[in-house]
Amino acid sequence: MTTTKEWSVAGMHCADCAHTLERLLREQAGIDAEVDYTRARARLRSGIPPSGEALDRALADTPYRLAPLGNAADSISSSSGGLEIAIIGSGSAAFAAAIRAGEAGARVTMIEQGVLGGTCVNVGCVPSKIFIRAALVRHYAGHHPFAGLGHAALAVDRARLQAQQQHRVEELRQAKYQSILDANEHIHLIRGRARFGGRRQIEVEAEDGRHRLRPDRILIATGAVPAIPSIPGLAGTPYWTSTEALAATELPTSLVVLGGSAVGLELAQAFFRLGVKVTVIELAPRLLPREDPLLGERLKRYLGQEGLRILTGAGTESVCHAGGKFELRVDGETIRTERLLVVVGRRANTDGLGLELAGVATEPNGAIRVDSHLRTGAEHIYAAGDCTANPQFVYVAAAAGTRAAINMTGGEATLDLSTMPTVVFTDPGVAGVGLTEETARLRHLDVETRTLELENVPRALANFDTRGFIKLVANKENGRLLGAQVLAPEAGEIIQSAALAIRNHMTVEDLAGQLFPYLTLVEGIKLCAQTFTRDVSQLSCCAG
For residue 112, CA distances in Å to 205, 209, 222, 365, 396 come to 11, 14, 9, 23, 20
- The answer on pLDDT for 73 being more than 60 is no
Clarify whether 528 is annotated catalytic: no
375-400 burial, b for 16+ CB within 10 Å, e for fewer?
bbebebbbbbbbbbbbebbbebbbbb
Average pLDDT of 447-453?
98
Q: Are strands 41-46 and 84-88 parallel, antiparallel or unpaired?
A: unpaired
Single out the catalytic residue among 120, 387, 506, 528: 120
- Reference 424, options 494, 472, 473, 367; nearest CA is 494
- Reference 452, options 353, 358, 521, 371; nearest CA is 521
Clarify whether 320 is annotated catalytic: no
Question: Could you read off the pLDDT of 300-351 as tens digits, one per residue?
Answer: 999 999 999 999 999 999 999 999 999 999 999 999 999 999 999 999 999 9
Question: Could you read off the pLDDT of 371-391 as tens digits, one per residue?
Answer: 999 999 999 999 999 999 999
For residue 201, CA distances in Å to 86, 87, 126, 374, 460 come to 10, 12, 35, 20, 58
Q: Which of 17-31, 73-87, 171-185 has the least mean pLDDT?
A: 73-87
Q: Which of 1-15, 160-174, 349-363 has the least mean pLDDT?
A: 1-15
Single out the catalytic residue among 37, 125, 302, 420: 125
Domains of the chain: 3-71 (3.30.70.100), 84-118+167-225+348-408 (3.50.50.60), 242-343 (3.50.50.60), 422-538 (3.30.390.30)
Clarify whether 542 is annotated catalytic: yes
The per-residue pLDDT for 23 is: 84
Q: Which of 2-16, 239-253, 404-418 has the least mean pLDDT?
A: 2-16
What SS3 class is residue 388? strand
Amino acid at 311: L
- List CB contacts of 301: < 8 A, sequence separation 6 or more: none
Clarify whether 12 is annotated catalytic: yes
Single out the catalytic residue among 320, 395, 518, 542: 542
Single out the catalytic residue among 64, 177, 239, 382: 64
The per-residue pLDDT for 219 is: 98
- The answer on pLDDT for 133 being more than 90 is yes
Clarify whether 125 is annotated catalytic: yes
Angle value at C-alpha 477, between 471 and 479, nearest 5 degrees: 45
CA distance 483 to 296: 17
- List CB contacts of 320: < 8 A, sequence separation 6 or more: 233, 237, 326, 327
- The answer on pLDDT for 126 being more than 80 is yes
Question: Could you read off the pLDDT of 387-400 as tens digits, one per residue?
Answer: 999 999 999 999 99
Single out the catalytic residue among 302, 408, 518, 541: 541
Average pLDDT of 106-112?
97
CA distance 385 to 254: 34
Long-range contacts of 32-41 (CB under 8 A, 24+ apart): 35/9, 37/12, 40/8, 40/9, 40/10, 40/12, 41/6, 41/7, 41/8, 41/9, 41/69
Residue 20 class from Cβ within 10 Å (0-12 exposed, 13-18 middle, 19+ buried)? middle
Average pLDDT of 161-181?
97
Average pLDDT of 469-488?
98
Do 26 and 20 form a contact (C-beta atoms < 8 A)? no
Clarify whether 420 is annotated catalytic: no
